[in-house]
Structure 1
Amino acid sequence: MTSGVIRRVLLSVGVIGTGQWLLSDVVHVPGGGLGVAAVAGLWWLSRSPKQPRFREPASLKGWIERCELVLNQFEELEVVLELQGLRSPREKELRRIEGFDVPLSVGVVATEGSGVPATVQLQQALAGAASLDLCLANPLPVTSTSWSWPDDLQELDVLLHVLPLPLRAADLLWLDQLPADRPVWLLLRSSVDRSAEDHLEALRCQLPERWHQCLLPWSGEAIELRGVLQPVRQQLMRAERVREGTRQRLLNNLHRRWQADLETLRRERFRLLLQRSQWIVAGVVIASPVPSVDLLAVAVGNGLMVKEMATIWSCPWSSEVLQVVARQLGSAALAQGVVELSGQALLGLAKLDGASWIAAGAMQGLSAAYLTRVVGVSMADWMALNAGVAEPDLEELKRQAPLLVARAAEQERLNLAGFAQQAHEWIQERNSCTPA
């Protein structure tokens, strides 16, 4: 057993007794659960987790099931937040995509200044693909502030993107914004001064590898267009496969949009949890004879808050993953001096009511509460980025943890006066509960 683990175990023994007193005499919760939770949190931090792997749905059925789970989350929030109409309209949208069964569609799009084949030429070149709708989109601007593809192209099964050679900067920017799951063919119009092969060789050096198999060089002669578009016709011949891919892509987009809708509702519920948890942590720190607040605050915060946060965000993460995320964010917060900075800031606000703020151990407890608050907010940000959308990348977390914590600390520092007021009220309430 390492010295770090021994320190955790010794610290947990001291917390058991104080946790029992805190629950029974301060917050009036029967039983000694908080002390046990603190010990469990410390043991939880000392374990060596495995790196789990998650997979996004790889089938239409899987995406429908995932969306059904999100619908259930909306239904749960209807009850918790006493809201109406969260599930019903979204369920109708899900059923529409699930039964999406119109003729296959090909969208022809180009940037401003690029020549597009005539509609008759395209119809003749694609003839043979049954039940096909041909849609000519408005030209994409060469100057833009968002570079976001139009929403009316989302439900098209295949895109035929007409591009001039050589590519312009705007063409590359539009290509960068196309998701990897969009079926797209690049129809390349060569200039007369260079051969198509010369253009293609230069283009392969410019474009990511994902586009190398989607290049369709075209001289601009109408008689050649049908032969050039042969790969497009072959893809459209597999109508059921193309349509299933479209449904999956639309469900993926729907799922992401729903996750964004859920976030506002989840943050409301999370703030209530955070306010409760931070003062429980503060109470344990004040009651504990151990002078250090860092490990204790993180342990109690993990034990009482993190798992409930996973429930709020519907994260199907194991306790090992929660352990890694919380420990990484807690370490980043301590490395950035969150406890020291919060202590200095709170001392500056102590003038609000000196009689309450100079109570023994109050400043230490408030610093622990603030640490729990910052770690909780950064944890919520990470869950919002990963829950139900993609598997958590723990290596990426190591890189992002300092930024997440810094952003959360700055956010909470801007609201430090509000936190101080809450702290003032909490200390007054605690003093009123203390036996004379």
Structure 2
Amino acid sequence: MTPAKEINFDGLVGPTHNYGGLSVGNVASMSSYGSASNPRAAARQGLSKMRALIRMGLTQGVLPPHERPFLPALRQLGFTGTDQAVIEAAAKVSPALLYNISSASNMWTANAATVSPSADSADGKVHFTPANLSAMYHRSIEHPFTARSLQTIFADDRHFAHHEAIPMGGAMGDEGAANHGRLSAQHGAPGIEQFVYGRSAFEKLESWRFLPRQAYEASHTIARRHGVLETSVFMRQSRRAIEAGAFHNDVVGVTNGPVLFYHEAAYEETGPAFDEMRRLAEPLGFEPIFVEVPESDVPLEDAITSYLFNSQLVTLPDGKMALILPGEAEATESTRRYLEGAMAGNGPISAAHFFDLKQSMKNGGGPACLRLRVVLTEAEEKAVAGGVILGEARLDALEAWVDAHYREELLPNDLLDPQLLIESRTALDALTQILDLGALYDFQR
């Protein structure tokens, strides 16, 4: 086994963070529609969490926001003229269209890609597949830049392998790491990859409140491409969870090391999948630990609104596990009581840390949504390009950058302001210098 660490690459909240209510099936996003957001506070809250994890002894990375509003999408739809003319014309034709191409949803990097570590893959490389996010238009335009960003940061082909997004069409949806987990004795040891899906791409579904987003065939394709198919387990997310608002598996379950922490209602069935995980784990020298939270302790609705499971489950330098949770999990009586009991017991999770992430939570994104987990050996970490691995000094620079460039209030109608594009591009141009990423954005080329 080659020693390795899990690095959380958090998405940096973009300057157009707003509550456009675009994500059908995401109850928080839908219910926050039209309210005023605070992009500066949102970015600051994310950076505060990153700083706290560094101070806990963890390695922390960051991924840059996408350019928004995204004018190439509007030009592809036939809008012409100057940038200001394009925005003004799109606003007249369809304000909703402008809301979609201005979304800062790329901040939730759990949906950026699925990542398999070198310890698992057949060729010994770290594999990346950007998510097509085809279920929602505002997210379906993300994967080309996501791929560019990942290929820029993880550029060394001695260590990293990149794949194209799953081809779109019909229900062939892929939502990235939000529906992917991994069980292993240690981060650097070979492990089992858990792929969670909501449907077959070719299955006819009727009378659902919210449709599932992840296709079995998409998950299977990623496992096959990454060379991890023989050590992968596929589980179906429960219809009840999806229709209650668990639009991704990471709203009802999270993995770390040998532990799967999940709600009783997360999956259609667990028995066969857990048996297969135990069978695959035996030759790898570990025993999976399944921590089920009963419905009687935490009702499914509380689990979803509090984002108990949309937490980061991390291994601290002393080997103990901790949950990185939103403040809503502490404020909800059932989840607070459950956590108090769990921390007092002899289970694998020994600590809970709560963070103010209200700006992200109002759009339906908790700590787990904000980060993409990438397991890297020392050699692989050294091959990471740019300045995206953070320390205190660069965090200071990023906070000053946010304060200089971000608005304190943004309403959906403010997205119609052409000045916002100028402000956003100015901010992103400065960001690429802080992170040493070169000419990353279209407008810089």
Q: TM-score, normalised by structure 2?
A: 0.20
Q: Which has the higher strand share?
A: 2
Higher relative contact order (CA 8 A, sep 6+): 2
Q: TM-score, normalised by structure 1?
A: 0.20
Q: Which has the larger radius of gyration?
A: 1
